[in-house]
């Protein structure tokens, strides 16, 4: 586990977290996966590429190297469920479709998984904490944007087709309400895409744990439909023709996030 994360420090008070972008596997996980899982279908594919404008924007970025099939960085270390109904935990046992992730008897041991918690989950969250603390110390506040994507249709997890842009603020607890309204308004300016605030995806552990408006840390999760920028099935090709117009909206969301902070804290 020589490299577990990819971090780039920016120059504005915004950190973009990408906890499900990783595709590396440990030997124990790789050896145990069922054939349907070996292509890593539940990955948040191409998120670093989709947000490749972040550096020009001045944002810091933090991306996972290891797959969520090893350990899910957007779940609490005690593995308490975040959602009622079907979901996945700190150590996923099923694919999003509900199919068992590992062949019978091939699940990594508790000792193996304890190593993942220490050497993969721990460093990611320490870096996240350190960067938010640095931003707050430098600017007086910090903005956290947790960037995700998912297949648009997964009957096991939700009914019908998911809206394109799914904003989550843990029902308003993770950021100022006027900030959430501003981000919703930006989405509404692009009627070719559908959007929702605090729908099926209200924000995972990162949004819920680090978002603390009273301490001037505002967190928002975006769960983006993969149909808005890529082919949703193997080989999971990135589609620049789809991605470029989607990036226009993403850039406006992040610029709106930053401008809200500058106005609110000036």
Give, as one character, the DSSP assignment of residue 37: G
User: Which residues have a Cβ under 8 Å from the Cβ of 103 and sit 6 or more positions away?
Assistant: 32, 33, 34
Asked if the peptide bond before residue 235 counts as cis, ω within 30 degrees of 0, the response is yes
- Helix (DSSP H) and strand (DSSP E) numbers for the chain: 8, 7
Cα–Cα distance, 211 to 145 (Å, whole number): 10
Cα–Cα distance, 19 to 71 (Å, whole number): 10
Per-residue pLDDT of the chain (266 residues), as tens digits, is 679 999 999 999 999 999 999 999 999 999 999 999 999 999 999 999 999 999 999 999 999 999 999 999 999 998 676 655 546 689 999 999 999 999 999 999 999 999 999 999 999 999 999 999 999 999 999 999 999 999 999 998 899 999 999 999 999 999 999 999 999 999 999 999 999 999 999 999 999 999 999 999 999 999 999 999 999 999 999 999 999 999 999 999 999 999 999 999 98
Cα–Cα distance, 220 to 206 (Å, whole number): 9
User: Which residues have a Cβ under 8 Å from the Cβ of 32 and sit 6 or more positions away?
Assistant: 102, 103, 106, 107, 108
Nearest to 41 by CA among 120, 96, 103: 96
Architecture of domain 5-264: 3-Layer(aba) Sandwich (3.40)
């Amino acid at each position: 586990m020589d490299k577990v994360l990819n971090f780039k420090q920016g120059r504005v008070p915004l950190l973009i977290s990408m906890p499900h972008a990783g595709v590396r596997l440990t030997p124990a996980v790789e050896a145990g996966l069922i054939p349907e899982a070996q292509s890593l279908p539940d990955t948040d594919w191409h998120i670093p590429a989709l947000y490749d404008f972040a550096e020009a924007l001045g944002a810091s970025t933090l991306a996972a190297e290891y797959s969520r099939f090893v350990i899910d960085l957007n779940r609490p270390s005690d593995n308490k469920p975040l959602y009622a109904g079907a979901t996945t935990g700190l150590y996923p046992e099923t694919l999003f479709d509900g199919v068992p992730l590992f062949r019978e008897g091939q699940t990594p041991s508790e000792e193996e998984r304890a190593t993942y918690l220490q050497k993969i989950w721990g460093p990611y969250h320490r870096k996240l904490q350190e960067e938010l603390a640095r931003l707050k110390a430098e600017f007086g506040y910090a903005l956290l944007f947790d960037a995700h994507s998912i297949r648009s249709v997964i009957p096991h997890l939700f009914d019908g087709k998911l809206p394109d842009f799914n904003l989550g603020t843990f029902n308003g607890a993770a950021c100022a309400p006027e900030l959430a309204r501003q981000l919703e308004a930006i989405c509404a300016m692009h009627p070719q895409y559908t959007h929702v605030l605090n729908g099926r995806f209200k924000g995972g552990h990162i949004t819920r744990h680090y978002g603390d408006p009273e301490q001037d840390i505002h967190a928002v999760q975006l769960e983006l439909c993969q149909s808005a920028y890529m082919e949703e099935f193997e080989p999971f090709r990135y589609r620049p023709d789809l991605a470029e117009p989607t990036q226009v909206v993403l850039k406006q969301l992040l610029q709106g996030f930053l401008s809200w902070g500058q106005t609110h804290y000036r």
